[in-house]
Structure 1
Amino acid sequence: MDVTVTNYEVIIIGGGPIGLACGLSTQKAGLSFLILEKGCLTNSLYNYPLNMTFFSTSEKLEIGGVPFVSNNAKPTRPEALEYYRRVAFSNQLNIQLFEEVLNVVPNGWGYKVISSKAEYTASHVIIATGFYDIPLLMDVKGENLPKVTHYYKDPHFYAGQKVLVVGANNSAADAALETWRKGAEVTLAVRNGELGRIKYWTKPDLENRINENSIKAYYNTTIKEIGEREVILATADGDVNIENDFVIAMTGYRPNFAFLEKIGIIISEDEKRYPFYDSETMETNLNNVYLAGVVCGGMDTHIWFIENSREHADKIIQKIVSKI
């Protein structure tokens, strides 16, 4: 990027798949743009478990009409990282990595975008920041211990250890099965009375491991306290104290509401915390500021995925072009 250029027609906040899709659409429309990403390229995908397989087929993860060819119908994390990297670089998308946006403030005709490294001005701002950066905390004593993580990466680390996995959905199922297969003694704590949204090829595997007692599962259970060598579970039958070396808390994530509120986007006051936007144009209550991707769902993080929010890019650019 030419560092002397600081004024753009469009600035896109977030360099994930939807941010890249917005960049492709902006580029196709012939508008000047800059993508700002606080981490590495497709930072959220990079932080997914190393061995993760997507639920979606590869064609549903395509952006900008660029084919996504994978070895199997459902691509893996490494394949997705490779695909989005090739899309970004082959199209020479104007993107600045490891540059966090700190604020967006009105600036006469447009907005001043203040990052950790520079200041820019833009006529239009697209926010495609996802929801993977801030974990939903359990708010229990001991949650800040080094043994507790809200991000699961590689099962080998837990070989031979006593591991508590908290959660009932895909991430928890993958963590429980993979660490057990690497020799961990795994306990699963599920808040409700049954397992939740789990990939159809994974759920029977987990249920079989639970039924044969290879993985101990506690349903209708929450975490009461985490200690250095044990965890206290609050079960339907009373408190249970189990020995423990590590806690993998797959309790979910949430958008950065503080950032959205800071720049002036209205957020509903109910538990869903939906940000305000026009579903036809994706424009927020702020003129010329748009939302794209999973950030639109607030706490309802199962509404939007890559496959059904990639269309946001074209909606937004159509609106911007009509204004120009």
Structure 2
Amino acid sequence: MSVIRLDHVSRWYGNVVAVNDVAMTIGPGVTGLLGPNGAGKSTIIHMMGGFLAPSAGTVTLDGEKVWRNQAAYRDIGLVPEREALYDSLTGWEFVLANAKLHRLADPGSAAREAIETVEMGPAASRAVGTYSKGMKQRIKMATALVHRPSVLLLDEPFNGMDPRQRLHLMDLLRAMGQAGRTVLFSSHILEEVEQVASHIEVVVAGRHAASGDFREIRRLMIDRPHQYVIRSSDDRRLASALIADGSSAGVELDARERCLRVQAVDFARFTWLVPQVARAAGVRLYEISPSDESLESVFSYLITA
């Protein structure tokens, strides 16, 4: 099981700072790397993969520096966002060449296995230049998997894939994470991250903004009221009881949806209070659900903070 660590890593290009003093640890499982366009996600992934030197700080894989460490490449598979491919080669030739570069004992078998893993067998004899964007993404994935790396780094891997291909890749990433591999991928489609990643890292304007399970991150945002939807046997009576307590910043009766919309400023007290208030008022609770604990809500809060 491999662990990648960024220890106060920065990267600048002339006077432009792309990544500023980022510290994070990526371990086994699937981690989603989030951030707006230009936040520094690709730069971080390239430094993790050993293809870009940090201007300051260190990137290590299991305690060893990654930059200019050829041995580290045996454990890392990288799928870059850019499509710098050899269009004249067939998919088979492209993956086989990567297997040979890794000096695998049986490059042919390794190439076939990687191609089948990403479901590119039927198109393997075609030139890469004839592939669609989604197919190019999958053949890049095959080259990253050919040497069975313990660490997989993917920059926007779902770009250009159709729905079936995306579902297959999601299943593949989950399986790799469950098998103990260290998988990190960036994506601008939050639904994909929410469905696949058990852990997220958020980068905003080159800085590390948050880390962990997004629901736990939301609960730590004590400066923002928590939004709840409550349905009960008597919404009006419940609303009156909640307004009397200081744990709620606002209570709105939504007649159209037949529910209450509550802004809770004290998360711990509110979750304890609601059943107590309902019992005292003789109101039966049917539903209490957070309306802003989605990854989309958390991400929106982080980038506008």
TM-score by length of 2: 0.26
Q: Which has the larger radius of gyration?
A: 2
More helix as a share of residues:
2
TM-score by length of 1: 0.25
More strand as a share of residues:
2
